[in-house]
Amino acid sequence: QTALGAYHQGRQTQFERTSPIIVVAGDELILRRGGADTRERYTPPLYHQLKSIAHLALGIHGAVRPSVGRPVDQALRDRLAALRSKASVVAGRLGELSLTPTQRERQRRFLETSLRFMDGVSAATTVDEAAVREYGRAVVPLLLANATDAARGQLDGLHELVQRWRSQMTPEEWQRLYVIVLGPKTPRAGNVQFEYFAYALGREAVDKRVIYAEGIVDVEGGLRLLATLIADRAAARDLFAEESRLERDFLADGAQAHLLKLFGKTGSD
């Protein structure tokens, strides 16, 4: 058996003994406990309704920003017409959505402001940067209010499910629970699900038992990352007396010394 083969076998053995694990995969949580997986959704419809409406602002900006300072051509007018058509449909169906009166009025204001801006751009000869920013300043407070409501709804759903699962665990299981949050790079800072588990398990668990799997969007990929972290941390503790040593480049120390020499930041050997 090769050295790497022995490592991979040991990693798998250690991982198979790891339980429980929660993987956050978009709208779903997957609980792996005692060799069995349980998968449940936790995000309420309100979250998706508010998120879908808010995406209109990004669509409008994506359409007009490349044309700032340039003539308004037919291609831009066509893109805005398509967005306008969809926004008009949503505006006419706000009464069908599960919104409070305050939320419904907020969506109406956002959609009316967006429709008015698109009409103004389509009627203009050039795209004015000041007008784009004025639109942004007008709708951002509405979008942030939507974000607050969406976050509250998602967190409430997440909390209900996690606490239900926690009630089925022993205290010892909860203390050794690992959480893997799957997601791309851009929403990492302040990620709602990551922050929830940082509160639920304690800040001392961050990056130890609560792990953001940046750039990984599939459950098996997240579990492979966890298996690697568990094995590498055990090896780092035993071999280097530094648990996180294998979470940075193994060559880093020697490379840093040589880089200082290459760029004249230190003396010769």
Is the pLDDT score of 165 beyond 90? yes
Is the pLDDT score of 268 beyond 60? no
Provide the residue type at 158 as one letter.
L
Report residue 111's pLDDT band, with 50, 70 and 90 as the boundaries.
Answer: very high
Q: What is the pLDDT of residue 76?
A: 97
d(CA 55, CA 89): 15
Is the pLDDT score of 269 beyond 60? no
Query: What mean pLDDT value characterizes the chain?
Result: 95
Span 174-197, pLDDT tens digits: 999 999 999 998 777 889 999 999
Is the pLDDT score of 230 beyond 70? yes
Q: What is the pLDDT of residue 189?
A: 83
Span 231-241, pLDDT tens digits: 999 999 999 99
Across the range 107-126, mean pLDDT stands at: 97
Task: Supply the pTM of this predicted model.
Answer: 0.89
Is the pLDDT score of 96 beyond 80? yes
Q: What is the pLDDT of residue 265?
A: 85
Q: DSSP labels for 65-101?
A: GGGBTSB--HHHHHHHHHHHHHHHHHHHTGGGS---H
Share of the chain above pLDDT 90, in %: 94
Q: From the CB of residue 8, how many other CB atoms can be counted at a distance below 10 Å? A: 15
Across the range 125-150, mean pLDDT stands at: 97
Torsion, CA 260, CA 262, CA 268, CA 269, rounded to 10: 80
Across the range 80-89, mean pLDDT stands at: 97
Collapse the DSSP code of 171 into the 3-class scheme (helix H, G, I; strand E, B; otherwise coil) and give the result.
helix
Report residue 75's pLDDT band, with 50, 70 and 90 as the boundaries.
Answer: very high
Is the pLDDT score of 143 beyond 70? yes
Share of the chain above pLDDT 70, in %: 99
